[in-house]
Each structure stands twice: as C-alpha cells, then as structure tokens.
C-alpha cells in the first residue's frame, strides 16, 4: 500500500546529498511540511523512514543556504523559519516536536543572516519545556518518544553550538530535565533504536564541551545525580533535579 511513498523516502534518505541546489531550495518550506506530515504517519515503516529522510533533507538544505552572501537565500531562510514557527504551534505534539529539528538544522544559517540567536534560544527552550511535559504525561505517544526525544536533544545541541557566552543555570536545568525523560524512555525503547539516544546524548555533550569546560562539568554533575536517583527510584528520574 505504501510502496511508492517508502521508495521516495528511501531516495531522499540515501541520496539527498546528490540533489542540486535548485531542487533543494525551490520550495523547501512546502517540502518540509509534507515530510513532517509523513513523520506523523500512522504506518510505522513510513513514519520512521520519513524521520530519517527529513533529517537528511534538512541537512542538505542547511548546507546550501548562504544568507550572508545571497539575498535570495535569506528570503528562503525566513520562509523556512516561518514554516517552523507555524508547525511548532500544531496541536499534534509529534509535529511540534519534529518541527523543532528545523530550528536546530537552520541555526547556523540563521546566525550567518544576523538573527538574534539568544532570543531564538529562549523561544526554543520554552517550546521544549512544554513538549517535555507532554511527552512525560500524555498517553499514546510513548512509541514515538524514542524518536522525538533524541530529535529534541539534537535540536538544542545544534543551537548551543551557535550561541556565545555562558550557559545559564536555567538552560542547564532544561537540558537536565530533557535528559531525565530521555533516560526514562531509553529503558523501554527498542534495542534497534538505542543508537538514536546515544547519538543525541553525544551531540549534546559535544555542544556543551564546545561552550566551555564549566558548562559541561555542571551539566554532568546534574546528569550523574539524576542517574543515581534513577537507579534507586526510576519513577523519580523525571523532574528530580540535583539540589543546589
């Protein structure tokens, strides 16, 4: 039933790097919306393949954008950003979560175009806080959490790499809470999906290391403390922050 869709997604996933600039940048906002709809598909094979295809496609679009040199690219970036903003307000938590990957993937291009990355980070962090609550408490999305959570972590990691200055305690708390949910979901995720968690956590550690030893050290203190709590009382892993 879905053979044609799956075949098309396979091409995007495996061959996105071969697409010409014209194909990537002609209507990226519309293609992005279409891909995210497939990411929320009811068929498991279509959904997971769409997620991988979306990541591959976003990476190539971001690599092609040079807004500082090409005014047309800046216009395309703004269209993509507008589409991300619309999708992040979607009533479906799955779509909101996956839409945040667009923010992360476009972070470098946004910085080159002169956007206020600090302001964008605050908005992104607020969206993530709401989504963490949904994933932790809402029924019916546990099966998707094994993909949504790693995507959220990678989105934040991509953004962190583009910021300057100290990582605040508020930001570390958000990252800590997200990793608490990640730790809880890891226990029930399929073994074949564990690599997504490993990749996401590594991306975050790399981003924090890039921001400085202090940020990485403080974050690891929080995560280790949460890990100890989880080993004793698994139900308290979420929302149980290290006391100051």
- Which tens digit of pLDDT belongs to each residue from 143-186? 566 777 787 888 888 888 888 778 888 888 888 888 877 777 77
Burial of 188 (0-12, 13-18, 19+ CB in 10 A): exposed
d(CA 101, CA 52): 12
Provide mean pLDDT across the span 53-76.
86
- Which tens digit of pLDDT belongs to each residue from 79-99? 888 888 888 777 777 777 777
| Cα 178 to Cα 127, 171, 222, 228, distances in angstroms | 12, 11, 12, 16
* pTM, entire model: 0.75
Query: Which has the minimum average pLDDT: 12-16, 89-93, 230-234?
Result: 230-234
Cβ proximity of 234 and 185 under 8 Å: no
d(CA 56, CA 12): 7
- Token pair of 104, please? 């992360």
| Cα 157 to Cα 12, 91, 94, 103, distances in angstroms | 24, 25, 19, 11
Q: Dihedrals φ, ψ of 90, to 5°?
A: -60, 145
d(CA 14, CA 39): 17
Q: Is the confidence at residue 241, as pLDDT, over 60? A: no
- Token pair of 12, please? 């995007």
């Amino acid at each position: 039933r879905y053979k044609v869709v799956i075949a098309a997604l396979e091409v995007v996933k495996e061959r996105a790097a071969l697409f010409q600039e014209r194909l990537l940048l002609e209507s990226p906002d519309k293609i992005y919306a279409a891909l995210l709809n497939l990411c929320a598909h009811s068929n498991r094979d279509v959904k997971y393949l769409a997620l991988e295809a979306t990541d591959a496609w976003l990476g190539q679009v971001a690599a092609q954008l040079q807004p500082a040199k090409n005014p047309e690219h800046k216009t395309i970036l703004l269209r993509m950003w507008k589409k991300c903003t619309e999708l992040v307000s979607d009533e479906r938590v799955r779509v909101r979560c996956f839409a945040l990957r667009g923010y992360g993937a476009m972070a470098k291009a946004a910085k080159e175009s002169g956007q206020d990355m600090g302001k964008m980070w605050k908005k992104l962090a607020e969206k993530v806080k709401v989504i963490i609550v949904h994933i932790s408490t809402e029924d019916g999305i546990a099966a998707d959490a094994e993909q949504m959570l790693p995507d959220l972590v990678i989105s934040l990691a991509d953004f962190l790499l583009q910021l300057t200055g100290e990582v605040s305690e508020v930001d570390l708390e958000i990252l800590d809470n997200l990793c608490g949910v990640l730790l809880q979901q890891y226990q029930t995720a399929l073994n074949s999906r564990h690599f997504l968690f490993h990749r996401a956590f590594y991306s975050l550690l790399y981003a924090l290391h890039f921001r400085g030893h202090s940020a990485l050290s403080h974050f690891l203190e929080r995560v280790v403390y949460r890990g100890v709590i989880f080993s004793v009382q698994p139900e308290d892993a979420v929302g149980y922050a290290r006391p100051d």
